[in-house]
Amino acid sequence: MISVLVVEDEIPILRSICRQVESANSSFHVTRTAVNGKEAIEALQEEKFDLMFVDMQMPVLDGMAVLKFVKEKQLSVYTIVLSGYQEFQYAREALQCGVLDYLLKPLKKNELTRVLQKVERMIWIDRSKEETAYINNSDDREFEAALLTVGPYIMLREDYAFTEGQNRIDEQLNSFLDKYISDELRWIIPTKYENERIIVFRKLGGRTKNIVEKLFRDYQSQCDLVTIIMAGQEQTHKTIFETNKRLHQYMIGAMGVEESRLMDEEEAKSVMENGVHYLKTVRKEVLKVRVSEHVMELIMKILNPVAERKVIFEILKLAFFRFSEEINSNYTYNQMEDEIADIIQSSYNREELYDKLEKMIIRMFCVEDYSGNKQKLALDIKEYLDHNYKSVTGNKELADIFGFVPAYLRDVFRSKYEKSPMEYLQELRLECARKMLAQELKLPVKEIARAVGFNDALYLSKVFRRKFGITPSEYRNQVKTMKRKAIILPVLLFLLGIGLISYSLWNLLQAHVEYRRREKKKRLL
């Protein structure tokens, strides 16, 4: 957790800043506020903060007085100056006091996010330096390392995974490790994620693997999910954190772990590579019209245990970005972040969330390279419409999926099929409606309209009449009449045939009787 002090004299603005900071980056938590410089100085004397936002214009004591106090006391707190005045004098004086950055009110989301990311990196570096001091001072410069993560995914933070306090994981780890290895032979180093730790051992030879295996079994008994990835080779104090980055990368690449696991570095690497290979393979095949069910299943398994929106946001952001890197998606990090945020905010339930994520995955991983191949693009648009005519919402959806502006897609499609994609879609829906009207004689017209993708029965009736010259109801009546005729005519023909046969047989019988009568008369004569 990164503790934040916000100093602002206007209460509505103060509350807004607190809300913006915590929503922009869940690592930051506003632990205290102040409405003037005097209260801010008192807070700084009583507590330690990682970051401070301070307004320049305040009663009692202004922001500059707070900055001078921090500089005089040499307090280790990163400071962001807030001001509603675009005056260089404020910025110059603030920078002289060691301020990290200068933001104008009202805060812009992208500027605030940028500053918080910078602060998070700097604090993480500072904490890492403190923890590695023990290692750097050690005579033995050869170590072995493991990365431990607790929770359904690596991005679960302390307020979700460890509600009893941010030190719980360290207490658990130390309790378990005490059984197997002494204090001087191990170090527990926090990462930027509160539910994750690097465990560093002095070189123990074959004992390390056994200790980690026992640790995993013990820890697993108390946690729903725990994953440990062991580094595969010996480390020096200079490579510990590079090793962590690599192991962390493998964790992200695996898109989370569905059950408690103990993996070595090679296995973790294989998990990541297999997932990436799968996406690369599928991308080259059929995914222009439907998303990989495998990928969606993974995402659903990861998200199912998670309820908080900001945790879901962090999970999706990391997972999508990791795979987009491997597959060379044309999405930028900011584009992904913005779209994921919009999807989460606009989704009212899990089903809607998954549906929107599915379409995003199609756009990210499954868009073909159509440069110089308009015929293939037109064909793929047609195939997509053929498979998804019931749900296609319009030109924007096609533009998102195929990566071109609607006007270009219309021109390409029209050049091959002499009609726009939406004209083709409407004709396709009308043809499907016509078939259903003929086959489902008892199904209401409004149900048929909904089944083929029309919003209502009135619109279906309008475009159906324009296309076929009659309304859907009239067409259905025609079909019923034709079906009745189709039944009656064979019956009439059958009856007629029976009549003709009977008539012929009667005539033959009469002729035979007349022949016998004449023969009998001849014999009598």
Tell which wins on pLDDT, 430 or 204.
430
**Which element (helix H / strand E) includes 201?**
strand 196-202
Instruction: In whole angstroms, give the CA distance from residue 142 to residue 365.
Output: 42
Radius of gyration over every alpha carbon of the chain, rounded to an integer in angstroms:
37
Tens digits of residue pLDDT in 117-132: 788 777 776 766 665 5
Least confident span in 158-162, 374-378, 407-411: 158-162
Taking the domain 2-122, which CATH number applies?
A: 3.40.50.2300
Nearest-CA neighbor of 368 among 282, 428, 300?
Answer: 282
CATH placement of domain 138-277:
3.30.70.270
Question: 232 falls in which pLDDT band (50, 70, 90)?
Answer: confident
Q: What sign results for the dihedral spanned by CA atoms 405, 406, 411, 417?
A: positive
Alpha helix locations (H) across 254-349?
Answer: 265-283, 293-303, 309-327, 333-346
- pLDDT for 239 equals 72
What predicted TM-score, i.e. pTM, was given to this entire model? 0.45
Place of tokens 């923890």: 131
Q: What is the DSSP letter of 235?
A: B
Question: Does the pLDDT of residue 488 top 80, yes or no?
Answer: no
Percentage of residues in the chain with pLDDT exceeding 90?
Answer: 8
Whether 258 has a pLDDT exceeding 80, the answer reads: no
| Predicted pLDDT of residue 5 | 93
| pLDDT tens digit sequence for 296-316 | 666 676 666 655 666 677 667
Superfamily of domain 374-473: Homeodomain-like (1.10.10.60)
Domain ranges of the chain: 2-122, 138-277, 286-365, 374-473
- Distances from the Cα of 151 to the Cαs of 87, 93, 155, 165, 501, in angstroms? 47, 45, 8, 15, 87
Instruction: Let me know if 78 is exposed, middle or buried by CB neighbors in 10 A (0-12, 13-18, 19+).
Output: buried
- Across the beta sheet with 78-83, the strand order is 28-34, 2-7, 51-55, 78-83, 101-104
Three-state secondary structure call for residue 368: coil
Between 155 and 332, where is the model more confident?
332
- Residue 430: pLDDT band (50, 70, 90) is very high
